[in-house]
């Protein structure tokens, strides 16, 4: 086990862990101090910048640029049509093809995006939700085609549809079948792709939508419990699948509040898994997370200040014991990050890792009267939110009825009012404001010619594939959806026949219908 010696310039040798005799140590239940005994002394966090735009070819170029500059994982952005289960030639996709992420219509796009990238060395996170079964199937098919066995494949899919109903809106199917599809992916991965994380529960987007840090963690853990309940009802033991559940959390605002949130959430998740669900496998109790700078913390005003904000967000993430870090770039309040901005975010993490000393020892804040007290108080507040959800019928019911959405929206409005009144200070927005013009920020252009190339590419794939084979495969998808069997094998067969994202999702819509959002005031 790697444990390199750390000696400061002053000659002081730093121990991996500091704790009094008998105190909780990192890597021990309930994991308040981190899920690994040596944490970053053994292995630094994965640096996985969120990236993707335009066509698969353009995104592939950005992937190679990031890897060349030190990215140790990839976090893939998909355009809105792909996220919503629409093909690029769908009239509803006009004007949005490749705008906020990579356009993916068929397996051919997935093959081009990851050409030449070693999936054993670079882990990949797919930021996809409503159409996750189709995109995960394409990723698995691509990996198999390139000789990476599914039994050994590592990576993550976001695939947290419940938070989409709360925080983003790229849902397709009603709540119940949407959860069933998440369950299908968890069950499939537990049995066929055991090292892959099929769900990354996203308190991140709920926080970005207006929730407080305590609510972010509470709703995230409650949603994770809903998935656990669903899969256990299928007959799977919690130790068989729960280690595949990971988390994605937000960081902006007060440094100490973020650290307390993560320490409390990690401890509470371990208790829930052990005490409520009877987990025995330590991996099923460990909260694994990606945590990085939140876009809601960035400002259009004085955008270079966002470089400083992101550095503090990275510090909070490291001090909180994250496994993976991604930082929003300074220009993301305006546009898709430029290469320069993306590189600066990477360099920020690398400076923190190599120069500042964030990897020197595990959980250096442990034992602080302040931090430990804040962690305990945060845990109590998270539990209060979760107990209220349970008392009112559970998170599934609350989301289906729109109550969580209404609470988060109200919280967002109240927060905005407090910023405007100056009760919450925001540098460059309501304090330390200056009249100097902001520096120029390079805008990422929307290139219609690239969208046209994507549509033409899709037309070629449609022309070259076997239409009869595709229709047969799509009927198998519909049959699996109707009879309650796991849809993943049928979807993988369909995408191997070069069925499109829109065709796969359309086949499922024919069985499940589309979600109609409740509106509450």
Per DSSP bridges, beta strands 46-47 and 324-325 are parallel
Confidence band, pLDDT 50/70/90 cuts, at residue 519 = low
Distance from C-alpha of 359 to C-alpha of 361, rounded to nearest angstrom: 6
Supply the pLDDT for residue 168.
Answer: 87
Supply the pLDDT for residue 520.
Answer: 58
- Is residue 108 helix, strand or coil? helix
Supply the pLDDT for residue 337.
Answer: 87
Distance from C-alpha of 289 to C-alpha of 318, rounded to nearest angstrom: 11
Q: If you average pLDDT over every residue of the chain, what do you get? A: 95
The answer to whether the beta carbons of residues 494 and 131 sit under 8 Å apart is: no
Confidence band, pLDDT 50/70/90 cuts, at residue 443 = confident
> How does pLDDT run across 1-39, given as a tens digit for each residue?
568 899 999 999 999 999 999 999 999 999 999 999 999
186-189: list long-range contacts, CB under 8 Å, 24+ apart.
Answer: 186/227, 186/231, 186/241, 186/244, 186/245, 187/231, 187/234, 187/236, 187/241, 187/486, 188/486, 188/488, 188/489, 189/241, 189/244
Computed from CA positions of residues 80, 81, 82, 85, in that sequence, does the dihedral angle turn out positive or negative?
A: positive
Q: Specify the CATH number for 38-395; select among 3.20.20.240, 1.10.530.10, 3.90.1150.10, 3.40.50.10330.
A: 3.20.20.240
Single out the residue of 246, 164, 263, 170 nearest to residue 205, CA to CA: 164
Residue keyed to tokens 């862990």: 17
Residue 428 DSSP one-character state: T
Question: For residue 290, what is the enclosing H or E element?
Answer: strand 289-293
| 310, 344, 474, 476 from 70: Cα distances, Å | 18, 11, 41, 43
Supply the pLDDT for residue 292.
Answer: 80
Which of these ranges, 112-126, 293-307, 309-323, 489-503, has the smallest mean pLDDT? 293-307
pTM for the model: 0.96
Supply the pLDDT for residue 262.
Answer: 98
Reduced 3-state DSSP string for 340-403: HHHHHHHHHHHHHHHHHCCCCCECCCCCCHHHHHHHHHHHHHHHHHHHHHHHCCCHHHHHHCCH
Confidence band, pLDDT 50/70/90 cuts, at residue 187 = very high
Percent of the chain with pLDDT strictly greater than 70: 99
> How does pLDDT run across 249-274, given as a tens digit for each residue?
999 999 999 999 999 999 999 999 99
5-8: list long-range contacts, CB under 8 Å, 24+ apart.
Answer: 6/41, 6/360, 6/361, 8/357
Residue 277 structure tokens: 């669900």
Residue keyed to tokens 């004007």: 95
């Amino acid at each position: 086990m790697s444990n390199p010696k750390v000696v400061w310039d002053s000659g002081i040798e730093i121990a991996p862990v500091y704790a009094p005799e008998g105190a909780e140590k990192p890597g021990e239940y309930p994991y308040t101090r981190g899920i690994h005994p040596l944490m970053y002394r053994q292995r630094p966090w994965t640096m996985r910048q969120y990236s993707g735009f335009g066509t698969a070819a353009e995104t592939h170029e950005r992937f190679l640029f990031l890897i060349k500059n030190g990215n140790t994982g990839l976090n893939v952005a998909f355009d809105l049509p792909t996220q919503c289960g629409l093909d690029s030639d769908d009239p509803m996709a006009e004007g949005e093809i490749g705008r906020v992420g990579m356009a993916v219509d068929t397996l051919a796009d997935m093959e081009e995006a990851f050409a030449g990238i070693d999936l054993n060395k670079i882990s990949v996170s797919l930021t996809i939700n409503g159409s996750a079964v189709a995109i995960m199937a394409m990723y698995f098919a691509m990996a198999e085609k390139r000789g990476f066995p599914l039994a050994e494949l590592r990576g993550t899919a976001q695939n947290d549809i419940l938070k989409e109903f709360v925080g983003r809106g790229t849902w397709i199917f009603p709540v119940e079948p949407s959860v069933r599809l998440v369950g299908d992916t968890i069950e499939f991965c537990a049995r066929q792709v055991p090292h892959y994380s099929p769900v990354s529960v996203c308190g991140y987007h709920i926080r970005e939508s207006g929730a407080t840090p305590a609510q972010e963690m509470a709703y995230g853990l409650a949603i994770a419990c809903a998935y656990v309940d669903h899969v256990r009802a299928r007959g799977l033991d919690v130790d068989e699948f729960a280690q595949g559940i990971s988390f994605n959390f937000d960081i902006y605002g007060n440094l100490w509040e973020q650290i307390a949130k993560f320490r409390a959430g990690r401890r509470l998740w371990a208790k829930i898994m052990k005490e409520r669900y009877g987990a025995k496998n330590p991996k099923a109790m460990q909260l694994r997370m990606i945590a990085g700078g939140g876009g809601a913390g960035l400002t259009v005003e004085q955008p270079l200040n966002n470089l400083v904000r992101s550095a503090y967000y990275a510090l909070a993430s490291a001090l909180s014991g994250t496994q993976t870090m991604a930082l929003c770039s300074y220009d993301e309040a305006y546009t898709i990050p430029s290469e320069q901005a993306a590189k600066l975010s990477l360099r920020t993490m690398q400076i923190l890792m190599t120069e500042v000393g964030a990897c020197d020892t595990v959980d250096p804040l442990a034992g602080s009267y302040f931090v430990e007290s804040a962690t305990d108080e945060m845990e109590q507040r998270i539990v209060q939110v979760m107990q209220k959800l349970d008392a009112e019928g559970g998170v599934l019911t609350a989301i289906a009825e729109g109550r969580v959405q209404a609470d988060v929206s109200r919280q967002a409005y109240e927060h905005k009012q407090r910023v405007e009144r100056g009760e919450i200070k925001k540098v460059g927005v309501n304090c330390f404001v200056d009249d100097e013009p902001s520096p120029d920020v390079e805008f990422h252009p929307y290139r219609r010619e690239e969208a046209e190339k994507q549509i033409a590419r899709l037309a070629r794939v449609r022309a070259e594939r076997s239409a009869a084979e595709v229709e047969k495969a799509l009927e198998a998808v519909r049959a699996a959806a109707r009879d309650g069997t796991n849809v993943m094998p049928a979807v993988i067969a369909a995408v191997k026949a070069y069925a499109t994202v829109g065709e796969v999702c359309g086949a499922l819509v024919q069985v499940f219908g589309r979600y109609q959002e409740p509106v509450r005031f």
